[in-house]
Chains A and B, each alone.
Chain A
């Protein structure tokens, strides 16, 4: 096959609010080649794909097709250049039929009042499915079919446009083995026809079985690029894992090695259907338990149940003298002494239009929990930079917003503090403050559950780490696991 030309990313840089997602990434996706794009959570894969497919503009650098710079203001332009993408989250219309979903682009290019007979739509749809050797009920509404069908429809649609470049971002997360084989076969035939296929997946074996080239990203930079045959899975895993050279790294948490105190919370075979299965763990007072795992491994789902946002379907939560399957409501969990700092502070945490003081006191006031301090003292002790207690929290920087939501949790005097990605999108200084705060809370006897995609963070702060994969605990580590151990466990590889 000709391997001339293709799509190149040239020195792409992108940052979101001071956090670098891409730090000068250059990659070449060659025609006729299947390119495995590898990296742990937050390595920059999705950002790279978003830029190459026109849904995000880079801060610096450009995308080139066969050496010519491309102008990609939106996804439509990208498609015009033959760049197709299958997203992690299938972009489909559940209340339309399978056939209509498959033929929607053709329908969109018809004259508005032109008759789009169902026979014609079926023909277009069937041709697209035939190409993949798939069979789906064309006249059924897509929403009535399982999630894998949505993914298949999305894939069939992307492949049908004869793209020159095809990006597949975790296209098989819900596909069966047979369906995955079909997909991999289709990728190979696309490549043999001269298409550049870029494949992102967390199932390494699959992608290694078909990839020609591979690139490993870490912390927004390329750490390895070359022929896939020159790379073994263990090597890839250890490269995906950070080497821990970040400048924020501090001395290990003071509590490590300190004698364990009484158990603060214990989960026994906690299960919530389709989210997590048979999770048993215990956290002692003064201990930091890190929960690691890929996005979608059930981390957030698990702690949502522990904090009373969702109800487990079986198993028990033992908390002090309380033993129960589920909290009646988040309020009950708060009152019992479980505080949650959610992953997405703007969506799930803060009341953005309300004042700093209002936000810090909100849980205590609405639930009638006696606050352990005053808002002013909390602002001082956490070093929240705000002109006054009365400004809306939306006017604060990301790091300070995060501190506000931490302050809110601490105000309730929790025995268990659950932190989901507590330093996402905050600057280095705020990060150090938040780490110090966690240590301080642990020393004061609070049990801390830390969920984080940042391996360094988990390793540095945790007394123990459990790794979730597909909703189950796969490994448990003591203090100071190596990052490659964590990554390997998260990817289901032995290391």
Chain B
């Protein structure tokens, strides 16, 4: 059915592609990131050393992995505040299971715990229609409490067999960074190339239209919650491997950084938009800032202020970009 003159889609000029890339919301963060990196390197050349950069990526891995899942949840128009608690609960549960099972089974149970936590969140939110902010604020406490209860509040050993995913590296690259890259690549692929990805966007953008088009709105939302729970569990296991113990009090407050990374990456609380690569860049931006404050010996209190300011700036900028686009 293609006519002779038609340019086959997908075969575009390099210039075209560069332009399209620049117009993407992620481009803005990438530029900020690069500029920041250059400035920091000028101030302290130690920043640009491979060992520092790898350390930086290592520190980004946990937030980055969870942020990929949070992107899914935010695109469907929901929010999950319980991710940090899920992370700790899954890690503790996995570690405790090593008493009864061989480690691969324990790891599996750990991951399953995270997915189940997400399932609980998703089912309550979609069945009752109560705002996910409130529901997950509740489960934040419930999951944290479960982890504390089953461990007696004490860090749990037992998962030493998975130490390589927290401390090892393949060639020069730490394993957790490789896992992060894999999660981002798969996450981006699913979101932009599969049926599920399109449905996730559709549900978040206009739930009524999605329902009229016959999409299973509730099921799609539940899937997003299960995914973020699973990824939080994965991050929890990486953290356990890194430290050698699973702490029931791990990662308190992490959800705020994860949401920050996701929002900086272009996601909106109103749903319908968000980007996995954007979330990764957002996590990197937070990581670079943390790193810079150490390298430049600035007060860590200032870092707290700067992180907050970046979130505000990113979302305000996004607002203007949207207005400008729809004009």
Interface string of B205-228 (1 = CB under 8 A from A): 110111111111000000100000
Q: At the interface with chain B, which of A7-15, A28-36, A110-118?
A: A110-118
Question: Min CB distance, B11 to chain A, in Å?
Answer: 11
Q: Which residues of B contact A41 (CB under 8 A)?
A: none
A143 contacts chain B at the CB level, 8 A cutoff: yes
Q: At the interface with chain B, which of A91-99, A213-221, A313-321, A382-390?
A: A91-99
Q: At the interface with chain B, which of A100-108, A164-172, A286-294, A464-472?
A: A100-108
Distance of A119 Cα from B10 Cα, bound (Å): 8
**With known contacts A115-B193, A144-B326, A96–B198 Cβ distance under 8 A:** yes
Distance of A390 Cα from B187 Cα, bound (Å): 54
Cβ < 8 Å to B, chain A residues 141-183: 143-144, 157
Q: List 25 A-B contacts (CB under 8 A).
A: A75-B211, A75-B212, A76-B214, A91-B206, A91-B208, A91-B213, A93-B206, A95-B205, A96-B205, A100-B198, A104-B198, A104-B199, A104-B210, A105-B213, A108-B216, A112-B194, A112-B199, A116-B194, A116-B198, A119-B9, A119-B10, A126-B1, A143-B326, A144-B325, A157-B213
B195 contacts chain A at the CB level, 8 A cutoff: yes
A79 contacts chain B at the CB level, 8 A cutoff: yes
B58 contacts chain A at the CB level, 8 A cutoff: no
B185 contacts chain A at the CB level, 8 A cutoff: no
Interface of chain B, main secondary structure: helix
Q: List residues of B whose CB falls within 8 A of some A CB.
A: 1, 9-10, 190, 193-199, 201-202, 205-206, 208-216, 223, 272-273, 325-326
Q: List residues of A whose CB falls within 8 A of some B CB.
A: 75-76, 79, 91-96, 100, 104-105, 107-119, 121-122, 126, 139, 143-144, 157
Question: Min CB distance, A233 to chain B, in Å?
Answer: 33
Our pick among B199, B201, B205, B272 for the contact of A108 (Cβ within 8 Å) is B199
Q: Which residues of B contact A110 (CB under 8 A)?
A: 195
**With known contacts A75-B211, A105-B213, A116-B194, A92–B206 Cβ distance under 8 A:** yes
Distance of A119 Cα from B9 Cα, bound (Å): 8
Distance of A245 Cα from B223 Cα, bound (Å): 57
Our pick among A95, A108, A113, A126 for the contact of B273 (Cβ within 8 Å) is A95
Q: Which residues of B contact A126 (CB under 8 A)?
A: 1
Known: A91-B206, A92-B206, A108-B216. 16 other contacts (CB 8 A): A75-B211, A75-B212, A92-B209, A93-B272, A94-B206, A95-B205, A104-B199, A104-B202, A104-B210, A107-B202, A108-B213, A112-B195, A115-B195, A117-B193, A118-B9, A119-B10
Which chain B residue has the least Cβ–Cβ distance from A103? B198
Question: Min CB distance, A109 to chain B, in Å?
Answer: 8
Q: Which residues of A contact B272 (CB under 8 A)?
A: 93, 95
Distance of A143 Cα from B213 Cα, bound (Å): 18
Q: Which residues of B contact A113 (CB under 8 A)?
A: 190, 194-196
Q: Which residues of B contact A121 (CB under 8 A)?
A: 198
Q: Which residues of B contact A95 (CB under 8 A)?
A: 201, 205, 272-273
Q: Which residues of B contact A94 (CB under 8 A)?
A: 205-206
Question: Min CB distance, A169 to chain B, in Å?
Answer: 13
Question: Min CB distance, A56 to chain B, in Å?
Answer: 14
Q: Are A122 and B9 in contact (CB under 8 A)?
A: yes
Distance of A112 Cα from B199 Cα, bound (Å): 9
Q: Are B196 and A112 in contact (CB under 8 A)?
A: yes
Q: Are B195 and A111 in contact (CB under 8 A)?
A: yes
Question: Min CB distance, A387 to chain B, in Å?
Answer: 31
Q: Which residues of A contact B194 (CB under 8 A)?
A: 112-116
Distance of A96 Cα from B10 Cα, bound (Å): 18
Q: Which residues of B contact A117 (CB under 8 A)?
A: 193
Q: Which residues of A contact B214 (CB under 8 A)?
A: 76, 79, 105, 108-109
